[in-house]
Structure formats: C-alpha cells, structure tokens
C-alpha cells in the first residue's frame, strides 16, 4: 500500500479483506502515519508498521503489486512510480493524470512505459472517475452500437454528503471571485476530465482536433460558490463529438448519466451516482488481478478485460 490518505486507507481495508491479497507492506510520508502500526491506521487486522521510505520497503517486501494513492498530478508522483518500476512491482494507481497520460504528459508517458517494460512490470492509472464512470463505462456501452455519432457524459456529485476535503477541493463556500482566482491559478477542480475524454476518443477511433475544458463556479442561493461546474467539449473539425460535464456542488442531485447518440442510441442513468470513495477502492483492487496478467508497460483501462467485483459469500 503506497499512500494511506482517505483513499489509500479505503483501498487497504478492502485489500485486507480479500483472500487472494496478502499485504506485504505500507508506505506513507505523513508524519502522523509513518511508524504507526498499519492495523491502527486501517482500524482492522493488518500486518507491520507504516514505513516512510518506499524504496526500502519495496526492497524488503518485494510485492507483486503496489496499490498507489498519493496524488493527482503525474509530475508529482513520477518519482514514486519510477521507484515501483525499478523494484519490478506492478502498479495500480489512483493518480488521475496516469489514467490516460499520452496527451498531457507525452514525454513522461514514454519514460514510464520504457521503465515499466525494463522492470517487466505493468502500470495502470484508474479509479471511479477517471477510470470508470465517464470513460470505461461509456466505452463498454458503445459495444452495442454499430456506430456512435456523439457522446454526452454527466456526473453530478452532491458534495454536502462527501468528505470536507472534497468540498474544499471543489470550492464550496468560496466567493465567486475567490473561485475564479483559484481556477485561474490552476491545480483546482476535478482532475481527469480530459483524460476520460481522450480515453473514450481512442476507444471509438476518434482523433479529436480540439478538447476544450472550462471550470466555473456553481453559484448557490447565498451568492457563494456551492461547488464547481466543469465541462469538456471534444471536436473533430467543427463537429462536436464529446460533451462532458462534472458538476460537484452542495445540494446537487447526484447521478451519472451517459448518452450515446448512434445506431442504436443508448442512454443510461445511474440514480444517485456511483459513490466515489467506496467505488475507487473497488476499482483499484478489482483491477489489480487483471494487471498481474497484463503485458508489461504503461497501460490504460482499454488494455484490460472487464474488471469485476466479488460476489458475497
Ligand atoms: N481516479 C479516481 O477516480 C480517484 C478517486 C479518488 C481519489 N483519487 C486521487 O487519489 C489520490 C489519493 O486520494 P486521498 O484523498 O487519499 O489523498 P490524500 O488524503 O492527500 O492522501 C495521500 C496520502 O499520500 C501521502 N503521500 C504523498 N506523497 C507521498 C510520497 N511521496 N510517499 C508516500 N506517501 C506520500 C500523503 O502524505 P502527506 O499528507 O504528508 O502529503 C497522504 O497521506 C488523490 O490524488 C486523489 O485525487 C483518484
């Protein structure tokens, strides 16, 4: 387990419950976590202490696979991923930019792929979104279409029901001006919307000429932002082929909605939306088994057979 924030702990708890998984070690640099018994951090039976030196932990434990959940931005987590590659450990990571790194980080993607192959390991970025709802699920649905003309993706999350960290991340409670200033500064809002669109476009054989993303505040009744409205529009020439919206706001009516205009048309709504944190742990752990059987190198969800959950006993 590499990274034991809220998501890494959720992944760790699920991994500890899966019979086919033996936890070989845990790493986190946060001073409040490093050195503590893993069982205490996960609040369940688990072996060993949380270590703060990933290279040393990997050399000692020699895990087949690393479940990685430390950050969203590829340049930040690159050294961690390279440490795993050099230790020959496969990786499933929640890093959003890793889910489809070939556009935003062309050179880093090449480097990771080369190092992964050299280490004879496989590296995958995934999670609930990006990783599943606005990309893999839409790709799977397209399997019943003879032809797809247009895809509309919508994910609405009611952040009032979610962790405070997420509420802060989407700007809930900021003034509209504060929100706009944060958005202009970068590293704000949902990460991975473009990655979802690119992955979907690759699956459908679309070479997008443009993919424009906008991040705006979602105003509440009190005039403050109650969250964010993030859109992406993908075009081939002048033709819009992908329209995606992530609305994360306090009090929003949560749902996931995928609409494929094509032959035949397909429209799917998930009432209430897929619960983000629980689903992310599931996607990561469920993908782990597939990654062990995948070819070495940097891969995406498009390279894996469908991931599945586990039936209760
Ligand atoms: N793809 C998806 O669908 C999806 C879904 C959910 C979350 N995510 C992403 O997954 C990541 C983890 O989420 P989270 O909410 O658990 O984040 P978090 O609360 O920030 O936890 C990350 C943990 O990793 C630690 N860490 C950072 N750099 C490290 C390093 N070099 N070595 C070891 N540990 C390190 C952090 O320590 P410090 O606190 O000391 O930095 C922290 O304890 C986030 O980037 C999040 O956006 C993706």
Q: What is the tens place of the pLDDT at every residue in 5-21?
A: 999 999 999 999 999 99
Three-state secondary structure call for residue 271: strand
Beta bridge partners of 247: 156, 229
> Rounded distance, CA 157 to CA 294, Å?
33
pLDDT of residue 291: 98
Q: Check if 96 has its Cβ closer than 6 Å to any atom of ligand 1.
A: yes
> Rounded distance, CA 51 to CA 58, Å?
10
pLDDT at 313 over 90: no
Say what percent of the chain tops pLDDT 70: 100
Q: Return the ligand 1 atom nearest residue 10 CA.
A: 16
Going by alpha carbons, the residue nearest to atom 18 of ligand 1 is 5
Residue 212: partners with Cβ closer than 8 Å, 6 or more residues away: 232, 233
Testing ligand 1's pocket by substitution, the residue of 13, 30, 55, 125 carrying the most ligand atoms inside 8 A of its CB is 30
For residues 294-307, average pLDDT: 98
| CA of residue 239 to ligand 1 center, whole Å | 38
Query: Which two structure tokens, joined as six digits, stand for 223?
Result: 């005039």
Q: What is the tens place of the pLDDT at every residue in 142-186?
A: 999 999 999 999 999 999 988 888 888 899 999 999 999 999 999
Residue 309's Cβ-count burial label (10 Å; 0-12, 13-18, 19+) is exposed
Where do runs of H (alpha helix) occur along the chain?
A: 6-17, 38-42, 54-61, 74-86, 106-118, 136-141, 164-169, 176-185, 193-204, 276-292
Please count the other Cβ atoms lying within 10 Å of the Cβ belonging to residue 90. Answer: 23
Question: Is-contact 50 28, C-beta < 8 A?
Answer: yes
Q: What is the tens place of the pLDDT at every residue in 214-252?
A: 999 999 999 999 999 999 999 999 999 999 999 999 999
Q: Check if 55 has its Cβ closer than 6 Å to any atom of ligand 1.
A: no
Q: Return the ligand 1 atom nearest residue 169 CA.
A: 47
Question: Is-contact 103 300, C-beta < 8 A?
Answer: no
pLDDT at 110 over 90: yes
pLDDT at 268 over 90: yes
pLDDT of residue 169: 87
Q: Which residue has the higher pLDDT, 109 or 161?
A: 109
pLDDT of residue 112: 98
- Average pLDDT score over the chain: 97
């Amino acid at each position: 387990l590499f990274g034991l924030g809220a998501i890494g702990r959720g992944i760790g708890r699920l991994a500890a419950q899966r019979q086919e998984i033996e936890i070989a070690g845990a790493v986190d640099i946060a001073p409040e976590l490093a050195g503590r018994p893993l069982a205490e951090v996960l609040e369940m039976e688990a072996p060993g202490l949380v270590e703060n030196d990933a290279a040393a932990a990997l050399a000692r434990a020699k895990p087949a696979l690393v479940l990685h959940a430390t950050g969203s931005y590829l340049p930040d987590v690159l050294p961690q991923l390279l440490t795993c590659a050099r230790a020959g450990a496969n990786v499933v990571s929640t890093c959003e930019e890793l889910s489809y790194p070939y556009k935003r980080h062309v050179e880093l993607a090449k480097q990771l792929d080369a190092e992964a192959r050299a280490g004879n390991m496989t590296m995958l970025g995934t999670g609930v979104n990006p990783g599943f709802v606005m990309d893999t699920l839409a790709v799977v649905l397209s399997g019943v279409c003879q032809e797809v003309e247009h895809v509309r993706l919508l994910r609405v999350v009611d952040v009032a029901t979610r962790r405070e960290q997420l509420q802060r991340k989407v700007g809930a409670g900021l003034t509209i001006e504060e929100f706009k200033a944060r958005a202009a500064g970068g590293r704000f809002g949902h990460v991975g919307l473009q990655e979802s669109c690119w992955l979907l476009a690759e699956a459908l054989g679309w070479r997008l000429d443009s993919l424009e993303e906008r991040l705006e505040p979602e105003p509440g009744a009190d005039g403050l932002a109650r969250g964010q409205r993030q859109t992406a529009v993908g075009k081939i020439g002048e033709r819009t082929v992908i329209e995606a919206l992530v609305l994360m706001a306090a009090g929003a009516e949560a749902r996931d909605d995928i609409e494929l205009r094509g032959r035949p048309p397909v429209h799917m709504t998930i009432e209430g939306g897929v619960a983000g944190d629980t689903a992310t742990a599931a996607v990561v752990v469920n993908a782990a088994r597939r990654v062990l059987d995948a070819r070495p190198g940097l891969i995406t969800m498009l390279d894996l057979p469908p991931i599945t959950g586990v039936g209760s006993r």
